[in-house]
Structure 1
């Protein structure tokens, strides 16, 4: 999958966040990135915090396992998720397939 890259300790995801959406959701991956919609506004780090909480909750991980590596003030971000890379990739695929 082009949207994320795995290594021995987890995965790194390229995401494009759309803030102020009607609901939190992960959409089908595009060419090299994963679209994520969040209800939070892009103000004072609220969308970044919501992204971390959303991914941690959706993937059944601790909040500390999700780290924004780059793009804190941009819509395009790189996010690091610690854990078993195969399980995380499968969980992400289930997550975007379950979203409308």
Structure 2
């Protein structure tokens, strides 16, 4: 079951990142996290930047509205989105 929370108008979600994938895409739900494939390698923050860019484009937000609040050096991250509703995130993730 996907773990999404809304706090102070922001949506917080868990993300499992697979770096060096063939393309950037949502790859379903893995446990309580969204699985995200990213083409960037996991070096020098490149994968983190790609995660931020991906969610910003997906939800049509400025990159400053997407923050990795936990897991900078891990494949398991917690991402905070500002400027979207819980329903918008659920709809986009569930297809």
Same fold per TM (> 0.5)? yes
Aligned-residue Cα RMSD (Å) equals: 1.4
Distance 1:89 1:7 in 2: 15
Runs (4+) of structure 1 exceeding 6 A deviation are none
TM-score calculated relative to the size of structure 1: 0.85
Structure 1 unpaired stretches of 5+: 95-100
| Greater share of residues in strand | 2
Contact 1:15 1:77 in 2 (8 A): yes
Change in 2 beyond 3 A, CA 1:8/1:91: farther
Quick one: distance in 2 between partners of 1:69 and 1:57? Answer: 19
Alignment size in residue pairs: 94
Query: Offset at 1:29?
Result: 1.2
Shift of 1:8: 4.4
